[in-house]
Structure 1
C-alpha cells in the first residue's frame, strides 16, 4: 500500500470541488461514490445543497472566503467550514449554528505565504484563534487548511509545506479534536501528501477530464 508518512492512503479524504459545476455533474459524481463536496460561493452552493437534499450521505464543505453577512447561511447548511481566519467569523458561526445540529467542523485557514492579497490568519496569530474556537460549544476544531504559493520557487515552496506540517503537529498535540490537515489541490498533490495532508481538495482533475 502507498503510504503518506505512515498514513494509509485510504485515510486521505478527497473533497470534490464543485464550484461552477452543475447539478447533473454532481449527481454523476455521487453515483460513482463521491460523497464530500467543496463549494466556494454561497449563492451557488445553496442552490445545489437544496437540489440534492435527498442525498442524505453528502457532506458539504465551505472552502471560500467568508463574509460576515454570510456566516448564518454557512452555519445552517454546511457540515464543514475550512476557511476561518478571524475570531469574528468564528463567533458568528457559533452563534448561528442550529442547536439541533452537531457542532460544525471547522478548520483555521493559515496564510502560510503571508501575502497581503491572500486570505488566512498569519502564523503568529493562529494559536490565539485556535484557543478561541476550541472553547465555542457549536464549533468543532478539526485542524488547519492552507494554500501555499504555487508560483514560488521550489526552495521557498518546500519551506512553506514544512511550516504547515509543523503547525498541524503542534495543534494535534494541544487539542484532542484536531485530526485534519486540508492541504493540496490538483496542482500540488505530491508535496501535500509528503507534508502529511489527509484532506485534498480536487476540482480540475475530477471534473475537467
Structure 2
C-alpha cells in the first residue's frame, strides 16, 4: 500500500466519523485533493483510489497537469486570481473557489468558452477583521452574489473560507459558523447555492461539524509539502 493510500484510508476514517456526528450523507460530500506541487504520478495514485476532484493554486503548473492528465476529472482553482490569469483559468478549470472582486468575475465570464458549461464559482469571504488575504467582507456578500448571478457563463455554487493561521479551535468554530450563517442567509433570499467549501487537513472535523460539504485536503493526503 502506498503512503497516499494509507493517508487516504486515515482521511476517510476522519471524515466518516465526523459526518456520522452531523447526520450528513457521504454521497453529498466532496474531497478536493490539493495537488499543487505534486506530480502527475501522485495525482494518478489519488485518482485510482477514487478521488476525482483536484485543486491547484498556480495557473501555469496546473494547466500543464490538466492537459497531460488523461482521465476525466474535475479541476478546481483555489489560488488568488490575478487579472491577467483570468482567461487561462476560465478556459481550463471547472471550478473557481476564490472570487473576491466583481471585475475578476466579469473576466472569467467573458473568457469562458461557449463550448464549455458555466464555470462553477464560490465567493471567498473574509472570516477575520485582520485577515490580510484576498477575501470579500461579509457585508458586501449579498451585492456580490446578485451581480454574479447576472453573468451567464458563471454558476454561483456557494462560499469558500479559510480560518486565519494559528486560530484556536473556538475561533475556527466561530469562523465556520459565520460561513454557514452567511450561506443560509443567501438561501433564504432565493440564491440557489449548495456548497460550503471550508476545512483543510488540520481542521476538517471542525468544518464538517459546521456543515461543510466540500473540503480542500493536501497534507493529510499527499503528505508534507517538499
Instruction: Measure, in 2, the Cα distance between the counterparts of 1:193 and 1:136.
Output: 31
Query: 1:28 and 1:157, CA in 2 relative to 1: closer, same or farther beyond 3 A?
Result: closer
Task: Considering Cα pairs closer than 8 Å and 6+ residues apart, tell me whether 1 or 2 has the greater RCO.
Answer: 2
| TM-score relative to the length of structure 1 | 0.93
| 1:126 equivalent among 122, 127, 141 | 141
Query: Match for residue 135 of structure 1?
Result: 150
Q: Residue 182 of structure 2: SS of its match in structure 1?
A: helix
Query: Match for residue 92 of structure 2?
Result: 77
The question of whether the paired residues in 2 share the 8 Å contact of 1:183 and 1:192 is answered with yes
| 1:6 equivalent among 9, 20, 23 | 23
Q: Residue 105 of structure 2: SS of its match in structure 1?
A: helix
Q: Does 1:32 align with 2:49?
A: yes
Query: 1:19 and 1:131, CA in 2 relative to 1: closer, same or farther beyond 3 A?
Result: same
Instruction: Measure, in 1, the Cα distance between the counterparts of 2:119 and 2:50.
Output: 23
Matches within 5 A, 1:159-170: 159-170=174-185
Query: Match for residue 208 of structure 1?
Result: 223
**Comparing 182-191 and 107-116, the one that deviates more:** 107-116
| TM-score relative to the length of structure 2 | 0.87
The question of whether the paired residues in 2 share the 8 Å contact of 1:143 and 1:171 is answered with no
Q: Does 1:153 align with 2:159?
A: no
Q: Does 1:61 align with 2:104?
A: no
Q: Does 1:188 align with 2:207?
A: no
Q: Residue 200 of structure 1: SS of its match in structure 2?
A: strand
**Comparing 22-31 and 192-201, the one that deviates more:** 22-31
Query: Match for residue 33 of structure 2?
Result: 16
Structure in which a larger fraction of residues adopt helix: 2
Query: Match for residue 98 of structure 1?
Result: 113
- Root mean square deviation of aligned Cα: 1.6
Runs ≥4 residues deviating over 6 A? none
Q: Residue 164 of structure 2: SS of its match in structure 1?
A: coil
The count of aligned residue pairs is: 207
Structure 2: stretches of 5+ with no match in the other structure: 1-15
Cα deviation, residue 121, structure 1: 0.3
The question of whether the paired residues in 1 share the 8 Å contact of 2:131 and 2:164 is answered with no
Instruction: Measure, in 2, the Cα distance between the counterparts of 1:205 and 1:159.
Output: 23
